[in-house]
Amino acid sequence: MGGFVGYNNGTISKCVSSTNIYGEANGVTNSQYAGGFVGYNNGTVSNSYCSTTVAGSNYVGGFVGYNNADILVSYSVGYIAGTNWHGGFCGSNADTLTNCLYCS
């Protein structure tokens, strides 16, 4: 789940998202890969921004839930809540973050 895109396998540049992501079903938080901008990133994201509240279970991040590629010059403002593998900008990172920022 992502505020802009759930799964990215291409290029996203100069985009903005302002939304809230709540990965809950019947009051139970059970979602994975929840991000304020991208849920699961396998492509390139650059010069992008989101303002969000994100809640989920695993891989929860203010900008991206799980990053497996490049994110450049991007930032997120908001609040995140997760059970496992959660972080302000990204829930889990397996690649490159360059000039990225998270503010709560």
Could you report the per-residue pLDDT of 34-72, keeping only the tens digit for each? 999 999 999 999 999 999 999 988 999 999 999 999 999
- pLDDT for 79: 93
Please tell me which residue, 35 or 82, carries the higher pLDDT value.
35
* DSSP assigned state of 94: S
Beta strand residue intervals within 11-100, DSSP E? 11-13, 16-22, 24-25, 28-29, 32-35, 38-41, 44-46, 49-55, 58-61, 64-67, 71-72, 75-81, 84-87, 90-93, 97-98
